[in-house]
Structure 1
Amino acid sequence: MGFSKDQLLDRLQELEIDYSKYEHPPVLTVEEQDKKHRYYIVSAMVDTKVDMKVLSQRLGLGKGGIRMAPEEALGELLQVSLGCVTPFAVVNESSRDVSLLLDQKFKNQTRCIFHPLSNDVSVSLNTLGLDKFLKSIGRDPVYVDLEANTLNL
């Protein structure tokens, strides 16, 4: 069994990461995508315009392009359900081969809001806190310009 929402929040506290928590009704959206067993979590600001064809080319995915992962993959790889895929989903060992791409616009925000493995709660933290968390689990944060039209990531 993977991390629970409470275990994730406990981990943020252990790392002394400043965050705010907001409870709300479950939200059913997902930003996780895949291509023939190559999995990516693409986490973007709500106003970021991502051209999926260009992003697919930038990732070297060829003609098939990037598409949403099947719901079963969310449970198997990320150990989360539909609507719970956020940068925190890479906390579980089963997600070690999932690449996380973060919108570079996050760096310009005072606070960013993500679900902590459960879509009935949101946490607000700054990118330094997110980076600290990711590094604590052996992940180097990768911020990219998701609106770029060039082929380099």
Structure 2
Amino acid sequence: MTLPRVCQKELLQKLTELGIAYDKIEHPEVFTVEQALPHVAHLEGIFAKNLFLKDKKKQFYLFCAPHDCDVKLNDLSKLVKASGGLRFADESVLFEKLGLTQGSVTVFGLLNDTEHSVKLVLDDRFTNNTYTKIYFHPMVNTSSIGITPQGLMTFLKSTGHEPLKINLME
């Protein structure tokens, strides 16, 4: 059975319904943070790095942090108490769970995780007003949208995903 998937248009409608203001920037297709930065580095706020991961027991994690955050999977694994360490999950599972493809991983994919099988892990700087805006891909990697930390929390509440907040700076 194929589940209906939320696309960019439906995401933007959802943000509007929730009263979440956003800025949208169109750019060429990008597959990495490094490819995206020339198109978003001039914007107020921070561009998000998003990783779709799994542990040995096939628990899935969506990790979101500032793009310039140095992420060591071993350290992250200990912080989230992952069983047997963390590794990148296959693209087929990324599509199955979040309706996304490589290069377009985003917190907004949680709209497609109606079974709540993905644990969200957020760098706490995304929720403590360190940044005025956080930029994520809106289900595709040909644009980015910026929302406030308050908008992010409103969005997450609407999906039923309670983030595990971690501090990678310590």
TM-score (norm 1): 0.88
CA contact (8 A) 2:123 2:168 kept: yes
Equivalences for 1:22-101 in 2 at 5 Å?
Answer: 22-29=25-32, 31-36=51-56, 37-62=58-83, 64-94=84-114, 96-101=116-121
Aligned twin of 2:166 = 144
CA contact (8 A) 2:95 2:101 kept: yes
Structure 1 consecutive aligned stretches of length 4 or more whose deviation exceeds 4 Å: none
CA contact (8 A) 2:103 2:141 kept: yes
TM-score (norm 2): 0.80
Q: Compute the RMSD of aligned alpha carbons.
A: 1.6
Mean Cα displacement is larger for which, 5-14 or 80-89?
Answer: 80-89
Q: CA deviation at 1:138?
A: 1.5
Mean Cα displacement is larger for which, 50-59 or 3-12?
Answer: 50-59
Cα distance in 2 between the residues matched to 1:146 and 1:33: 17
Cα distance in 2 between the residues matched to 1:52 and 1:70: 16
Q: % of aligned pairs identical?
A: 36
Is the alpha carbon distance of 1:34 and 1:132 closer, same or farther for their aligned partners in structure 2, counting shifts above 3 Å?
same
1:5 aligns with 2:8: yes
Aligned twin of 1:117 = 139
Equivalenced residue count is 147
Aligned twin of 1:14 = 17
Give the letter aligned to residue 69 of structure 2.
T
Q: Which runs of 5+ in 2 are unaligned?
A: 33-49
CA contact (8 A) 1:76 1:94 kept: no
Q: CA deviation at 1:24?
A: 0.9
Is the alpha carbon distance of 1:94 and 1:140 closer, same or farther for their aligned partners in structure 2, counting shifts above 3 Å?
closer
Is the alpha carbon distance of 1:76 and 1:125 closer, same or farther for their aligned partners in structure 2, counting shifts above 3 Å?
same
Cα distance in 2 between the residues matched to 1:142 and 1:16: 24
Q: Which runs of 5+ in 1 are unaligned?
A: 149-153
Cα distance in 1 between the residues matched to 2:115 and 2:169: 26
SS at match of 1:44: strand
